[in-house]
Chains A and B, each alone.
Chain A
């Protein structure tokens, strides 16, 4: 916790840190042991749960931070020769449940290709329980001694008791230290355990995912189909080359009607989702790294998708799921407040570490994009039905835009650590000649809420708030869900490629026209060579 407090987020701290050149050595100066990075790198075996990353990536140069750190000898304290770093926060993991259901948990870990070490978790848990018991026993004995010393005693007897008391105290201190270390290590290992899996989820790798639904079919074109890059060039909609100079590859400017199209998509999507009872939000795009971790992402893992701000504990968000998940962290909500339904608009930033190849041309895989995201907090027994509600909303939106798409029930090997179940939507992109992911809807059950500390109090007792603690029903963890309502660049690809006309123009789908000043088509700017 001490390390966490150091970066209290004051701007003065940040400004001094900014003077230091960008390198991992800045970590030294502020007392953060590099070992923290090393250990957390080892946690990268957790599945990356970011929607767009599917292939095992190789390290991007930007993450020089991680690789440089590995060259320096760590100074960690170790418990039985393992490196342990004090976690900055604790997930409220139900160890007893894990122990009581260890076969199911083990099978789940295997099905998800997770590297979580269940044996170690159980071992540490038992040890911790044993040490706890011993601590309690010693405390009991110490109390007995203390009570004895309150009465009249012979000097010799008193001396003997004092010595005994001191021995007990020293023993306790050692045990309590051990308990702390065990507890930290248990946390570190247990946090790697992925969420359980819905029984209907297909078991296996990506190719085992099953199709839930298909809407429409690929449009037949009577002329050669262009991809979005070519359309963008001819219609003067993007600028990639200048962006590569100014910012680097996978950055872009949108121009002209593409800007209007982005605005229209965001406004229409927000409007449609608000109609369904969601509260609109805009969110911070810089958040504390602990919040990123609590949502199930890894800011400091190898191949991390997360940009970190130099000299601070802040990261750029890869999705509004993170700041929205954080709104109610460390809170107890009244049952009557649930469900909470948010629709959030934000820019998103992703390093896309390791992603390469043609599937990353143009707008398909970029470092920065706009996205409208849906987020629900609800009671556990309702999360499955809200998952269905979210995928239905997505399907309604994409159908309204006239897209041809399929909804996929993602296989166990392709779920992110937080997701109990995940539905992806892939839309037909004629220019790419294949389906491309345009959205993802996850039911994270209590995985995120146990880390973010989001509870609710069931209502039996909410009518008697003042009757004393004994009368209140115990709190439970909420379930959280998130779903992409609109990821702008992929939507732009879909609209340009599907709605292209023979004359080189692109038709604007009818639902968007009121949000784009009535514009019906994007017309070519330059004469076309036939």
Chain B
């Protein structure tokens, strides 16, 4: 239509152009709808699975390692709730009034123990080259989703703030995953290793029963979390590094535990492979999960938009787009270094003494002012 045309011919072309334009608008709307629907459905597809992961339900999980054995007690074993009551360490009833069930106050030596655990854990993990962080505990719900959680699903674990798109984090994995969102990192920056301390909030929707007594399942707790961003070919070895760090920490504290390779039916959607550690809790009379280490490969990074540029071209940044190597998605991993309430259960129940006191494991003592034991406050009935 740019050239010279007879009026009739022009008119014909204008009409043809309009038809095409209308057709395009409709198609582009369709494309948008399809694209949105495709996203919605495809986001449900879980990560692929490591070939060595046992296939099946929770009972198919296999044990990778066991350290130690259940301590034999020469006296009746108390659970952490009873120990807490006798040693004046917790307050659950007042918390139920003030906040609701599954909330608690820590008191006296329990506060010192939490501080010691956090400080010792941060210190140990920092020694291994991790950068310490504290994080926001309110994050945009989109970030929660990009990490593979569902703030608005039924039975959601996530608390949402009224009148905003913000949620409370259930784990520092979320705000740490978000640090580098929508970024392109230089290959030389990888691996990035963070150790983050935060409070965590979980609705624990639907959880009920004896396994949720006391500190075992609570709405709010402190946690030290490890997070790694790395090149794809290195994620498996960093997964091994993370589980090794966890095992070293738990062995240092003298815990008896087993490391489990979680079965395919028990992985979260983001995890390519997941190792859980379950520690022996004599008061409960069974093993209880104290940590989880996941290799999420590129599941989170594809959602968070975290890429890196391989180094062939990083020496020639100004040579134009054509010369740069295409970016790739990083792999992300996360692992619990210390979940305070479950650790407190382990320490109280395993280190209880006949006289009702609890011994503090040696590595923690420099972080708790040298305290060697938590002594009973009230006279014991023998």
Contacts and interface: CB of A to CB of B under 8 A. Distances in A.
Nearest to B222: A282
A259 B161 CA distance: 26
Contacts of A271: 369
A405 interface: no
A346 B175 CA distance: 19
Interface string A254-273: 11100110110011001100
Given A18-B158, A281-B106, A286-B220, A11 B207 contact: yes
Given A246-B175, A270-B115, A327-B91, A286 B201 contact: yes
Nearest to B196: A253
B166 A248 contact: yes
A398 interface: no
B204 A253 contact: no
Given A253-B175, A326-B94, A326-B98, A22 B136 contact: no
A18 B111 contact: no
Nearest to B104: A284
A370 B135 CA distance: 11
B115 A267 contact: yes
A190 interface: no
A462 B302 CA distance: 68
A284 B204 CA distance: 15
B357 interface: no
A99 interface: no
Interface string A302-339: 00000111110010100000010011111000000000
Contacts of A347: 137, 199
Contacts of A330: 97
A286 to B, nearest CB: 6
Given A19-B154, A254-B134, A267-B115, A287 B98 contact: yes
Contacts of B152: 18-19, 21
A316 B103 CA distance: 13
A255 B131 contact: yes
A37 to B, nearest CB: 11
A330 B154 CA distance: 36
Interface string B127-154: 0000111111111100100000001101
Q: Which of A18, A65, A308 has the most CB of B within 10 A?
A: A18
Contact of B219 (A248, A253, A286, A368): A286
A259 B107 contact: no
B140 A248 contact: yes
Contacts of B131: 255-256
Given A12-B206, A309-B161, A284 B105 contact: yes
B118 A263 contact: yes
Given A18-B158, A266-B115, A288 B136 contact: no
B136 A252 contact: yes
Contact of B136 (A253, A259, A323): A253
B378 to A, nearest CB: 15
Contacts of A517: 123
B260 interface: no
Nearest to A239: B179
A246 B159 contact: no
Given A256-B131, A281-B105, A286-B219, A246 B205 contact: no
Contacts, number: 208
Contact of A246 (B111, B178, B219): B178
A282 B114 contact: yes
Which of A259, A308, A517 lies at the interface centre, i.e. has the most chain B CB atoms within 10 A of its CB?
Answer: A259
Contact of B138 (A266, A326, A349): A349
Contacts of B182: 245
A309 B115 contact: no
A279 to B, nearest CB: 6
A489 to B, nearest CB: 11
A26 B99 CA distance: 21
B41 to A, nearest CB: 20
A18 B162 CA distance: 10
A284 B103 contact: yes
A63 B201 CA distance: 22
A15 B179 contact: no
A245 B183 CA distance: 12
A9 interface: yes
Interface of A: 9-12, 14-16, 18-19, 21-24, 26, 61-65, 68, 239, 242-243, 245-248, 251-256, 259-260, 262-263, 266-267, 270-271, 279-288, 291, 307-311, 314, 316, 323, 326-330, 345, 347, 349, 367-368, 370, 517
10 contacts: A9-B100, A12-B206, A18-B203, A23-B163, A62-B166, A248-B140, A271-B369, A285-B199, A288-B98, A329-B97
Given A248-B166, A253-B179, A311-B162, 15 more contacts: A10-B101, A15-B155, A15-B205, A18-B203, A22-B160, A65-B162, A243-B175, A245-B181, A259-B132, A260-B122, A263-B115, A307-B161, A327-B91, A347-B137, A370-B134
- The 5 A-B residue pairs with the shortest CB-CB distance, nearest first, are A9-B100, A246-B178, A326-B98, A15-B205, A65-B163
